[in-house]
Structure 1
């Protein structure tokens, strides 16, 4: 037999043997002892595999305890990129979902089961403040309220609307002005001010963008409301 024929025969035998070894190790966990192909061939021991990185809900940096909900809110960037809101790994509002707009973007979530109630955006530069007031007055007790600004959140904002936002837990709604940046997670029926709020004033000296402050980003774990 020619040398090339012998080599082909050896290659076939090697393939059959290694295939049998892999099948034995992979499919017969209970009846056959797993065989390491590297150890069978006398190779160096396997290097340990790196553990997979754990992905937290809403791509947050930290995981949340079982009795809390995970959230992440990002304000709009100038008048170019819209805001986004994620709650319990569900994207509520974003430019990709095409449900954000200039002004104030608001999402209502059930504080007990994390289900989305509704979302809406309100133009605070040329819109009608009555639409915002009707929306705010219709929020049921126990609902969580997520708010993110985009472009200009305050030109049409009046004292009545500011007072309602304050009742929802805001500390900064009373001072919100033209092109300020603001994000909030509050709730209907809070006894104290919400710890989940950020505010950045529109200031020519400190603005990151031409005429707008830099974006705000906030993530955290909000306690579930018990029935």
Structure 2
């Protein structure tokens, strides 16, 4: 038989003190049975065993190895990205060709743009364009820019343009774009020199027409890279000027 004091001590060990406001309440502890602990240990062990076996199976099958899964995921992401071509072309150029994209000026406000092999070579941002005819000379073998210039065909003189055209060497690619007015001061001699570069439209180029052209010194045929739109009041997009012209393509490299 337990004495009253021993019984009270045993009951205290089975209780816990809970504070509620300013009072204390004695609440009996719930004893954890050994069988409950065993069940928890068994469940944890089973989970770890299943996880271990799963990873073993994944390692056996090489296609499901973690590095392969990550690599496949990255490849899938890359495949969904849009392919960017040089100068923003709609498709890539074949080997031994230069990618280009260009636009004429817009009225007398926005200057022309020329891009070659993903390099912006003439634009208002580069501050190397002006009213009249804008010209870029490109090495036909390397694609390097030799020179850029513009000649005012409204208030300027055609003589410097003629001199410039006569000095172009064989094998040089010539890119031209209009801005504002490309033709008022353009005489027959200048038109003939540009026609010899492969232009078909320069003979009809008039006041405030829009025009873009890619040719070359020593070309034997007419260039396929040319666009021309007349300045006509009933078709002009801007007041006094036609719409902007844009063109892209692939220029064959000079191989000899």
Tell me the TM-score normalised to structure 2 length: 0.70
- Determine which of 83, 87, 107 is the counterpart of 1:58: 87
The alignment of Structure 1 onto Structure 2 pairs a total of residues equal to: 188
- How far did residue 35 of structure 1 move? 6.7
C-alpha distance 125-34 of structure 1, shift in aligned 2 (>3 A): same
- Residue 173 in 1 paired to residue 205 in 2? no
Q: Which is bigger in relative contact order (C-alpha 8 A, separation at least 6)?
A: 1
SS in 1 for 2:66: coil
Residue in 2 aligned with 1:112?
A: 141
- Determine which of 66, 74, 84 is the counterpart of 1:34: 66
Equivalents in 2 of 1:221, 1:215: separation in Å? 21
- Higher mean alpha-carbon deviation, 152-161 vs 49-58, is at 49-58
- Determine which of 193, 199, 208 is the counterpart of 2:228: 199
Residue in 2 aligned with 1:69?
A: 98
Tell me the TM-score normalised to structure 1 length: 0.79
Equivalents in 1 of 2:173, 2:81: separation in Å? 33
C-alpha distance 51-106 of structure 1, shift in aligned 2 (>3 A): same
Residue in 1 aligned with 2:41?
A: none
SS in 2 for 1:148: strand
Equivalents in 1 of 2:145, 2:67: separation in Å? 51
Residue in 2 aligned with 1:11?
A: none
Rg bigger for which structure? 2
Per-residue CA distance 1:85-113 (angstroms, 9 max, x = gap): 01111111000100000000000001111
SS in 1 for 2:102: strand
Measured on the aligned residues, the alpha-carbon RMSD in Å equals 1.9
Residue in 2 aligned with 1:226?
A: 255
- How far did residue 71 of structure 1 move? 0.5
- How far did residue 34 of structure 1 move? 2.2
**Superposed, which structure 2 residues align to 1:127-166 within 5 Å?**
127-166=156-195
Residue in 1 aligned with 2:152?
A: 123
C-alpha distance 133-35 of structure 1, shift in aligned 2 (>3 A): closer
Residue in 1 aligned with 2:118?
A: 89
SS in 1 for 2:80: coil
After TM superposition, the runs of 4+ consecutive aligned structure 1 residues lying more than 6 A away are none
